[in-house]
């Protein structure tokens, strides 16, 4: 996962300075926050005085702030997400700071607090919001603090690497159990894009629950898997277009094998699903569209 260093103990990083001004602005907080995520003294104070943020690790000293800045096929996009590196007695560690509206932040904190007890999700440390700022500012956001998942690959990247032969397996180990546990707990992720399923240390993790909703049964499950397959397919569509790769032969066979594997794993029927129809419309590669039709028919 690509991160751009914004600030360090020695000041603004060279990585950040080399970005064009519009990209720099997109990486920086734009709203009034409880603390300035670029102010190291504020961060040190927070990390060492909050009872919820790893209180048992000892004294913490912030050394680096990075912004999540993923380039996708020539188009740069960003989330208001920061990885904070801090020093502790036995080395270093990370914590994630996610800039969020109050309602969404409180909801995601509540959902993760329940799910973390039995699922592979980020550990929530707390949602920080300053109500007094509302008296002076109209656009006040808070910071949701959570553990960092050091993922090796996202599921959309896993599909892409499998299709072009960069890896020997399309790994779905424990993914079925992960999503089934989520639905059994009564939660619909509601944004099951490829970038929200991360593979780390031999396990799948699921992140980003700000759009989550109540799970209502089979139709919701079909929707979730439709979004997952559709989003991964659009990602692959962008990849083959950007790199001018012909989607045929072994690539197409591998793609259909992977999609069929997902469908069989969850035993879903997506032929008339509304989300699949939308993704089919935005997918430009005719081969990918025909493969989807064959797999879901």
Same domain, 141 and 170: no
- The confidence score (pLDDT) of residue 100 equals 93
Same domain, 160 and 272: yes
- Of the pLDDT bands very low, low, confident and very high (cuts 50, 70, 90), residue 9 is confident
Same domain, 124 and 239: no
Same domain, 116 and 234: no
Residue 104 has pLDDT above 80, yes or no: yes
Q: Which of 109, 128, 146 is the last residue of a domain?
A: 146
Same domain, 171 and 273: yes
Same domain, 104 and 126: yes
Residue 78 has pLDDT above 80, yes or no: no
pLDDT tens digit string along 133-153? Answer: 988 888 899 999 999 998 778
Question: Tell me, what CATH number does 69's domain have?
Answer: 3.30.200
More confident residue, 98 or 90: 98
Vertex 151 angle, CA 146 and 152, to 5°? 170
Beta carbons within 8 Å of 201's beta carbon, 6+ residues apart: 150, 152
Average pLDDT along the chain: 91
Same domain, 218 and 128: no
Instruction: Please count the structural domains in the chain.
Output: 2
Same domain, 121 and 252: no
Beta carbons within 8 Å of 167's beta carbon, 6+ residues apart: 158, 161
Same domain, 168 and 206: yes
pTM of the entire predicted model: 0.91
Same domain, 51 and 134: yes
Q: Domain containing 105: what range?
A: 3-146
- The confidence score (pLDDT) of residue 58 equals 87
C-alpha 60/C-alpha 45 separation (Å) is 9
> How much of the chain, in percent, has pLDDT values that exceed 90?
69
From start to end of the chain, where are the E strands?
A: 3-8, 11-12, 61-68, 71-72, 75-76, 81-88, 91-100, 124-128, 142-146, 153-154, 187-188, 197-200, 203-206, 213-214
Same domain, 215 and 248: yes
Residue 69 has pLDDT above 90, yes or no: no
pLDDT tens digit string along 41-66? Answer: 999 999 998 888 888 888 999 999 99
Q: What is the mean pLDDT of residues 286-293?
A: 95
Question: Tell me, what CATH number does 267's domain have?
Answer: 1.10.510
- The confidence score (pLDDT) of residue 1 equals 53
């Amino acid at each position: 996962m690509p991160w751009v260093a914004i600030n360090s103990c020695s000041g603004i990083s060279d990585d950040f300075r080399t970005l064009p001004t519009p990209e720099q602005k997109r990486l920086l907080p734009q709203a009034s926050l409880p603390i300035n995520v670029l102010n190291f003294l504020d961060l040190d104070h927070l990390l060492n005085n909050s009872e919820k943020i790893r209180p048992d690790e000892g004294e913490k000293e912030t050394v680096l702030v990075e912004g999540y800045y993923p380039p996708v096929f020539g188009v740069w996009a960003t989330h208001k997400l920061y990885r904070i590196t801090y020093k502790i007695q036995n080395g270093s560690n990370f914590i994630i700071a996610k800039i969020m509206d109050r309602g969404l932040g409180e909801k995601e904190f509540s959902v993760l607090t329940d799910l973390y007890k039995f699922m592979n999700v980020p550990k929530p440390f707390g949602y920080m919001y300053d109500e007094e700022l509302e008296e002076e500012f109209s656009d006040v956001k808070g910071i949701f603090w959570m553990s960092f998942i050091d993922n090796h690959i996202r599921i959309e990247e896993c599909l892409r690497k499998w299709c072009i032969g960069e890896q020997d397996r399309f790994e779905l180990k424990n993914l079925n159990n992960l999503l089934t546990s989520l639905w059994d707990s009564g939660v619909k992720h509601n944004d099951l894009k490829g970038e929200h399923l991360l593979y780390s240390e031999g396990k799948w993790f699921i992140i980003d629950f700000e759009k989550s909703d109540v799970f209502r049964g089979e139709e919701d499950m079909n929707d979730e898997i439709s979004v997952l397959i559709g989003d991964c397919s659009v990602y692959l569509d962008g990849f083959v277009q950007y790199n001018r790769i012909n989607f045929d032969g072994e690539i197409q066979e591998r793609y259909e094998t992977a999609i069929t594997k997902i469908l069989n794993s969850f035993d879903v029927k997506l032929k008339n699903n509304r989300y699949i129809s939308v993704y089919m419309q935005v997918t430009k590669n005719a081969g990918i569209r025909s493969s989807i039709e064959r797999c879901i028919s």
